[in-house]
Amino acid sequence: MIAVIPIRKEFTDNEMSEIIAEAGGRAILIGEETEKAASSLETVSKQLICLEAASFSPARWSLLLRKYLEKQDLVIIPATPDGRDLAPRIAYELKWPLITGAIKVGPGYAYTVRHPREAMLEYRFDRPVVATILPGERGIEPLPPGAGHPHITVSDTTIPAEPSEEEGSDALLLDVLSNEAGELGLTEAERVIAGGAGLGGKDAFELLELLATRLGAVAGATRVATDAGWLPHDRQIGSTGVTVRPYWYVALGISGASQHLAGVVDPEHVAAVNLDPSCPMMALAELPIVADAPKVLYEMVEMLSTDHSSTEFTSQRA
């Protein structure tokens, strides 16, 4: 059993430590500044292999990692955005099954949660598998006094900037966008207001972001909305996006597909606005409002506007 952890400079020590602990202390760190990341660990590790690579290239990394993994019985990968991209490629290269969204894994078993966190599924297997594990589920075993440093093997393998003809090519990275200084990320937000296809377009999502700012919240979206370009993909909530754990969650024009609800974990309060009173999101909400979501959005922004005489929002109301 071994963990594979794609490292970027913003990857936290806690996220890395819990995945290594779940893998019994054995892991391959691949990415940027891996030795530095390994030396910062605060949990017991038996063996770490560091593979340095300047840029995230999941297709090429999966080919490189195959020789390190093909004799293992279980490969664990964090269910971060990078991990969810890398895991299916590794599973394909190894020709192994892939289990996603686990909360606990071990030799021959895995536990996952679904719908959202209302059902726990148990998997039993008698062959090697690749599994992604949700960050924040396991906790961390503190490093005891005098435990020393983990055994670190630094590979002399470096990933060239240009792929060989046999490797093929990855998606082209155009840019990496980070949050503005002081801007709260979705995963940390206590207040989240999210929009779906029911908001209708990019103009409405501009108002959604304005409303979120005025409520001290962070704006999120469903996959349909991010695929349409109405919000950036780092604002996508769900099984293929980020997981949020807010105190309150407001859903505007979101029907509540299982893929989206999988990313909304245990909010204390949920409000939903939708024209369909029987959709899953409305069933989940303690405050379901049967109404047209864009109209409600415009009214809320206008109510919170410091200038009630402005026609900025009233002109968009039907």
Is the pLDDT at 44 greater than 80, yes or no?
Answer: no
Please name which of 175, 222, 214 lies closest in space to residue 196, comparing C-alpha atoms. 222
Contacts of 232 (CB under 8 A, 6+ apart): 177, 226
User: Greater confidence, 36 or 235?
Assistant: 235
- The alpha-carbon radius of gyration of the chain (Å, integer) is 22
User: CATH 3.40.50.1220 region(s) of the chain?
Assistant: 186-316
Is the pLDDT at 13 greater than 60, yes or no?
Answer: no
Average pLDDT, the chain: 80
Three-state SS letters, 85-152: HHHHHHHHHHCCCEEEEEEEEECCEEEEEECCCCEEEEEECCCCEEEEECCCCCCCCCCCCCCCCCEE
Is the pLDDT at 101 greater than 70, yes or no?
Answer: yes
CATH entry 3.40.50.1220 includes domain 186-316: yes
Is the overall model pTM greater than 0.85, yes or no?
no
Please name which of 1, 258, 262 lies closest in space to residue 125, comparing C-alpha atoms. 1
pLDDT in the model for residue 274? 95
Which CATH superfamily does the domain covering 2-158 fall into? HUPs (3.40.50.620)
DSSP classification of residue 79: -
Q: Provide the pLDDT confidence category of residue 75 given band limits of 50, 70 and 90.
A: very high
pLDDT in the model for residue 135? 74
Which of the given ranges, 30-39, 230-239, 266-275, 300-309, has the highest pLDDT on average?
266-275
pLDDT in the model for residue 317? 37
Lowest mean pLDDT among 62-71, 107-116, 201-210: 107-116
User: CATH 3.40.50.620 region(s) of the chain?
Assistant: 2-158
Is the pLDDT at 313 greater than 80, yes or no?
Answer: no
Q: Per-residue pLDDT averaged across 70-92, rounded? A: 90
Q: Per-residue pLDDT averaged across 202-219, rounded? A: 92
Three-state SS letters, 45-76: CCEEEEEECCCCCHHHHHHHHHHHHCCCCEEE
Q: What percent of the chain has pLDDT over 70?
A: 76
- Give tens-digit pLDDT for 119-171: 788 889 999 999 998 876 655 555 455 555 555 555 545 555 555 555 556 76
pLDDT in the model for residue 312? 43
